Amino acid sequence: MPKFSAHERQVIAEKIVAVAEELFCEYGLKKVTIEEIAKASAIAKGSFYAFFPSKEELYFSILVDCQKRMWLQMEVYLAENQQLAPRDLVKKTLLFMFELMDQYPLIQNTDSETMALLLRKLPPEAVEAHSGEDAAALQLFEPYGIRFTQPIDVVTKVFQALYGARVMMENEEKQMLDQVISVMCEGLVNQLVEEK
């Protein structure tokens, strides 16, 4: 396997991520091969493995990066809407996050089949580490006076299940999907967020 300088590694990794995101958005995780990613990145197939252990881990890494960008936008939203009552702030923030998903094609294109494939192929520690990142993101609510009625790991799993429900409804009309998500958010917020 070739040795790359730190600068080369950074440039190649960025190229792999950019190329792979385009390919995944156009063709989906299942249809894209490592050979295609390597060729479009101008590296040998074997060199791909110097950067990512599998295409699933690459996909997941890109997905997590998209989510982290969404969290940055969530921080701004929270600051701009901090005058809202705690439950209203959490509900509106959740709905805002679902709307943001439309700005991220990879998140939009991650359907139930792709999620099932990822959960089957990813190392359990990668999935668990991501749950920890989700829990940390929920801590962003704390400075705004939000207190949850359940431990943060429970709240994290509930919100992950809400996202999972949204993914499972991929074939619903947008109006129906928005209404269902709104009702689910309302119910979850009433159960999980303390009133002031």
Q: Is the pLDDT of residue 66 over 70?
A: yes
Percentage of the chain beyond pLDDT 70 is: 99
Instruction: Tell me: do 15 and 62 sit in the same domain.
Output: no
Residue 178 is predicted with a pLDDT of: 92
Please give the radius of gyration of the chain, using alpha carbons only, rounded to the nearest integer. 19
Question: Pick from 10, 36, 52: which residue ends a domain?
Answer: 52
Q: Which segment of 108-112, 182-186, 189-193 scores lowest on mean pLDDT? A: 108-112
Instruction: Tell me: do 38 and 8 sit in the same domain.
Output: yes
Residue 191 is predicted with a pLDDT of: 97
Q: What is the pTM (predicted TM-score) of this model?
A: 0.90
Instruction: Tell me: do 26 and 80 sit in the same domain.
Output: no
Instruction: Tell me: do 101 and 16 sit in the same domain.
Output: no
Instruction: Tell me: do 106 and 44 sit in the same domain.
Output: no
Instruction: Tell me: do 98 and 71 sit in the same domain.
Output: yes
Instruction: Tell me: do 24 and 78 sit in the same domain.
Output: no
Instruction: Tell me: do 91 and 35 sit in the same domain.
Output: no
- Do residues 74 and 97 make contact, with C-beta atoms less than 8 angstroms apart? yes
Domain that holds residue 12: 1-52
Instruction: Tell me: do 149 and 82 sit in the same domain.
Output: yes
Instruction: Tell me: do 80 and 130 sit in the same domain.
Output: yes
Take residue 16 and report the two structure tokens written for it.
């792999």
Residue 176 is predicted with a pLDDT of: 94
pLDDT band per the 50, 70, 90 thresholds, residue 170: confident
Give the DSSP letter string of the chain.
-----HHHHHHHHHHHHHHHHHHHHHH-TTT--HHHHHHHTTS-HHHHTTT-S-HHHHHHHHHHHHHHHHHHHHHHHHHHTTTS-HHHHHHHHHHHHHHHGGG-HHHHH--HHHHHHHHHHS-HHHHHHHHHHHHHHHGGGGGGT--BSS-HHHHHHHHHHHHHHHHHTTTS-HHHHHHHHHHHHHHHHHHHB---
The pLDDT of 84-88, averaged and rounded, is: 97
Residue pLDDT, tens place only, 89-127: 999 999 999 999 999 999 999 999 999 999 999 999 999
Instruction: Tell me: do 98 and 45 sit in the same domain.
Output: no
Instruction: Tell me: do 71 and 137 sit in the same domain.
Output: yes
Residue 1 is predicted with a pLDDT of: 54
